[in-house]
Structure 1
């Protein structure tokens, strides 16, 4: 298990200890030169020949909530560990906040909060005391205001009431929250979260999504790794899709979804007749479920398709095309799906 990257550093140069820039400062950015994270040909091959990350070219725009998406084992965590200087790449380059990693980790990591592979905690200490230790390990943290920082971080992740409980008694979701609190002890330009909702119940997941949006609105760039498509789609502005160590695509979430065709949906009590007509009219992948029939739209005017249904005596109560989801885009790009429910 890895501790938040913000504690693994030498004393930073004082000019780097600044508040995250406001969202207005992020306007007109997004090129590789201005990216918060930029990799070129980033590759990691382990002993024995296992290729975990293969020639990754990734660009994370400043001010974005960037979803790093892929099945478990696709290379996401290995990539994050290289970005944070925890492991050396086999080849290629990585720049974080405009500086090469891991060579300038001492200047980068004080401006980064990270939660990678779960938090490293002292089980015999309370949640509050764990945060005190994290904060005390930060050479740039003012000890005179430590109590206020720790209290604010606990409150922000909803752990104030459990602050005095020993960490070994925490649930997995509570430990995730405590690790996130450690990453938020100081203002950050970049927040890197590896599966941040792991172990959380639905309410906890909603709270973390709300927190991520708040951080982004304050100007922090959030890099969020997940295998949950729905989570990425709800909170992220941009995303990249990884599979088997390689980058499949990246860009604004809306653009990725737009690249896949939506599903035609017909609501009717006459589902059998509707399915037959849709097939006759060239629709593909026709699926019947209760009072709905869904299909891949044929390459023709949808008004004509609706007319054909009505002419055949189908009582059409609803007719339209649902917007393609990120799941649809992933399947269209890779020809396969993965665990979208968690």
Structure 2
């Protein structure tokens, strides 16, 4: 596998295959931006030349630390603020020019919901639904009931919104985005304020929506959330896109061989285990106490000694160790995480504001 590209003058690596890395064909994109830029007074760039490509039908994680420009990008995509330069297309239409045609097909939860505190959760949704010119008033009650049920608020529907917790308000905002079937769902930190059980429920709902054909664009600074639910992701830092692609490919693309997984073998026969693993193509073999670790070859690379051989399963590695008389007490692999990807690309911890 080729080495990842060298960092640029600012210390940030570009996507491994160039500016278009990870881009789906144009007709298959739910969201596309080219050179999207937002500058504020004093020339401060909140978003700097963003080239983003979100495949239709994906659960796309928009990943970056707080303050890196994620919400500003979403606000430009939804036509809430004007871009300084560049352009954006949502569902194949230019934004904000085509907002009247596009937005009825988009559900959005951005920077938390704006609720009427004196109204109940149910009445808030009825008011939101009434503002939709395409909504049939005869079926409003049924739509509101289904949306409340989907986000787990049916039992609290009659409670005043001002008495809702932060997590309940997030759920109600998500219910508002789900009042009508949507082709695209844009969620900005949707699990903010939720307890662990609430996070699990929202992740399950996102997967369900994607299974029904909805493209979900999910902004988050929580790496674990992105890894658990998303099929694709983009990493952003300091207003710039660092890389994008499938979640499964990001670590391999950015980190090189380390993205294929790191093997750990626990054994009292460390020297013999290290020798066998090296013969089978495992690189970077190290011995620490009773553990032997090494980097697995790429999935299509042959293992079996210096002359190559047929590709092997992990079980074959384990069998080879046992056949060589190595007493294996523990055997497993660990893939590079999105945190590894982020630190490799930016050289900074993930809690650093952009």
Short-chain TM bin: 0.7 to 0.9
Among 29, 45, 48, which residue is 1:35 paired with? 29
Structure 1 gaps, min length 5: 1-28
CA distance in 2, matches of 1:231, 1:144: 38
- Is 2:335 the counterpart of 1:323? yes
- Is 2:108 the counterpart of 1:110? no
Q: SS where residue 89 of structure 1 aligns?
A: coil
CA distance in 1, matches of 2:242, 2:288: 31
Q: What RMSD over aligned residues (CA atoms) do the two structures have, in Å?
A: 3.4
In structure 2, the residue matched to 1:82 is: 76
TM-score (norm: length of structure 1): 0.79
2:121–2:158 contact (8 Å) kept in structure 1: yes
Among 264, 282, 285, which residue is 2:262 paired with? 264
* Deviation of 1:329 (Å): 2.1
In structure 2, the residue matched to 1:167 is: 161
- Is 2:191 the counterpart of 1:197? yes
CA distance in 1, matches of 2:287, 2:148: 48
CA distance in 2, matches of 1:59, 1:51: 21
In structure 2, the residue matched to 1:233 is: 227
Q: SS where residue 132 of structure 1 aligns?
A: helix
TM-score (norm: length of structure 2): 0.76
Change in 2 beyond 3 A, CA 1:284/1:122: farther
1:266–1:316 contact (8 Å) kept in structure 2: no
1:286–1:296 contact (8 Å) kept in structure 2: no
Change in 2 beyond 3 A, CA 1:266/1:97: closer
Change in 2 beyond 3 A, CA 1:258/1:298: closer
CA distance in 1, matches of 2:297, 2:30: 42
Change in 2 beyond 3 A, CA 1:294/1:86: farther
CA distance in 2, matches of 1:329, 1:74: 16
Figure out how many residues of one structure are paired with residues of the other and give that number. Answer: 307
- Is 2:350 the counterpart of 1:338? yes
User: CA-to-partner distance for each residue in 1:147-173, whole Å, 9 max, x for gaps?
Assistant: 101000000100000001111111111
Change in 2 beyond 3 A, CA 1:163/1:34: same
In structure 1, the residue matched to 2:10 is: none
Q: SS where residue 43 of structure 2 aligns?
A: coil
In structure 1, the residue matched to 2:92 is: 98
* Deviation of 1:255 (Å): 1.0
* Deviation of 1:331 (Å): 2.3
User: CA-to-partner distance for each residue in 1:187-207, whole Å, 9 max, x for gaps?
Assistant: 111000000011111111111
In structure 1, the residue matched to 2:5 is: none
Among 200, 203, 220, which residue is 1:206 paired with? 200
Among 205, 211, 216, which residue is 2:210 paired with? 216
Q: SS where residue 218 of structure 2 aligns?
A: strand
Among 131, 139, 162, which residue is 2:133 paired with? 139
